Homo-oligomer: A and B are copies of this chain.
């Protein structure tokens, strides 16, 4: 994009938002939020803020004192640490134990929420897949996967299987899901072929040498395969799923759905 446009239109009255991440270069939120602000005529700008784990508390404290700062998106590796740094959490953030969006209130208080899962489910629905009464297999048990798991449970899937390289983490997530949703059929491990919906909630597929989060040879048409990774746009999993006749959903629509939810949480819309 032309750098001539980079800062055009930013004035002393423009409200500032951020995205906190490490690394930072790959984040898409400044562009996606910028497009949303433009569509809605919001005089705001979302800038990349590169902070490592050891600087996070100091940055949070500094942001509390910026009076024209509306809030920020938190992403890897800060989502879990953010739960302790916020002054208040929404139910989703408490349940999942992670925060991906923080509103700065006028008095400097920071209110964290977790919208990864809700954004994912909204994107699924926008693609024509209603998850209610479907059977889903989810790869991963980390922050993003946990958020997707809780949102799928909330959306009423008939069954949820957690697949994770570290079995302990998968079982821990299963236990948390059973506590929150006692009637849900949820298990760890097991075959992927019998599920209607396969979701990659790991980072496997970001690098070319990554192993696949699912057995690509077991994909079959009738399955819907969804990806949380945004870069590359088409992961090896999505390419194999398309070749096998599956319907697919890329990671970017999940971000686009989330961005509107985030803008609302931060009070920009």
Contacts and interface: CB of A to CB of B under 8 A. Distances in A.
Contacts of A2: 9
Given A45-B47, A51-B67, A12 B30 contact: yes
A109 interface: no
Nearest to A23: B12
A7 B33 contact: yes
Interface stretch (A34-42, A200-208, A213-221): A34-42
Contacts of A67: 22, 24, 50-52, 55
Interface in A185-233: none
B49 A7 contact: no
A14 interface: yes
16 contacts: A1-B9, A3-B38, A3-B41, A3-B42, A6-B8, A6-B9, A7-B33, A7-B38, A10-B30, A10-B34, A11-B27, A12-B30, A50-B67, A52-B67, A58-B65, A59-B66
Most buried by B among A8, A42, A45: A8
B64 A10 contact: no
Q: How many copies does the complex hold?
A: 2
Contacts of A11: 1, 27, 30-31, 48
Interface string A80-118: 000000000000000000000000000000000000000
A251 to B, nearest CB: 15
Given A12-B26, A60-B62, 4 more contacts: A1-B9, A8-B34, A51-B65, A56-B65
Contacts of A26: 12
A230 to B, nearest CB: 11
Contacts of A9: 1-6
Contact of A6 (B44, B52, B54): B44
Contacts of A247: none
A242 interface: no
B14 A30 contact: yes
A261 interface: no
Contacts of A41: 3
